[in-house]
Amino acid sequence: MIEVEDVYFTYPSGVEALKGVSLTIRDGEFVAIMGENGAGKTTLVKHFNGLLKPTRGRVLVDGVETTKVSVATLARKVGFVFQNPDHQLFCETVEEEIAFALKNFGFSPDVIEKRVEWALNLLGLSQYRKTSPFMLSGGERKRVALASVLAWDPKILILDEPTIGQDYQQKEKLRQFILQMNAQEKTVVVVTHDVEFVAECNPRVVLMRGGKIVADGEARKVLTNPEIVEQASLVPPQIAQIFLNLSDLGFPRDVIDIYEAKEFLTKAFKGLR
């Protein structure tokens, strides 16, 4: 469990990025943290693994205050994939990158070999195993960074803008993997602007603006509320916009899933025959 208790954070420059944020993320939850640039999303999640420490308030991971333990200790439990993969890649080959943390955490050579192979296959990176990560595209480097974290199987996974640079096929693989991890009771926290991706996943959504939380709830409820979404400088998913416009005709306002939309529209067309 992650517990954020009345947290304020001010950068050395004087920018107050978090202003009294309180939030509880339970074990096994899938949470999307959304909002405009500068809302405090990344600042908040960097508190979850101790990269940042509160100016005021406190953050606890499984009951342990993050200021009381090292980042290295938290990293064994909390895996963090940065928005810019170049901030965490430094090995000469992809397979060395994936194996690096496993070696540091003391995994045996045979386990390391199996975990590296598993991660390469999972993210479609097997053909790049001997390639330098810096020779790959931005989207591929992002997958390498993700593979290097997934390899040690953290209890909590934090993904900062994971869909940037990914095509639809890779996004769908990522969605399926997140849902699989969630089914295995892993905690997944995603920072993203991608409302369509979130709509397809339907997680719990936390909207931020100006260093504060302005909404918290199920995606289908939060993302179909135009006033709340506008506060976070986002737009509702396309399906949501369609059904908001159709609500005067008796359609529900809280539809964000394409398959649910198809079901409602199919029934409506049958009723017209």
Q: According to the model, what pLDDT value does residue 272 have?
A: 57
Instruction: Give the chain's mean pLDDT.
Output: 90
27-39 tens-digit pLDDT? 999 999 999 888 9
Question: SS3 of 218, please?
Answer: strand
CB 214 within 8 A of CB 228: yes
Q: Are strands 56-61 and 64-65 parallel, antiparallel or unpaired?
A: antiparallel
Average pLDDT over residues 38-46: 95
CA distances from 105 to 149, 152, 159 (A): 12, 8, 21
Q: According to the model, what pLDDT value does residue 187 have?
A: 95
**271 pLDDT above the threshold of 80:** no
Q: Which residue segments constitute the domains of the chain, with CATH numbers given?
A: 1-72+156-233 (3.40.50.300), 78-153 (no CATH), 237-273 (no CATH)
Strands (E), the chain: 2-10, 16-25, 30-35, 56-61, 64-65, 78-81, 156-160, 187-191, 204-209, 212-218
CB atoms within 10 A of CB 64: 13
Listed range (65-79, 102-116, 228-242) with the worst mean pLDDT: 228-242
Average pLDDT over residues 140-160: 90
Q: Which of 87, 71, 45 has the alpha carbon at shortest distance from 192?
A: 45
At a CB cut-off of 8 Å and minimum separation 6, what does 229 contact?
207, 222, 223, 235, 236
Instruction: Give the residue, 98 or 255, on which the prediction is more confident.
Output: 98
pLDDT band at 273 (very low <50, low <70, confident <90, very high): low
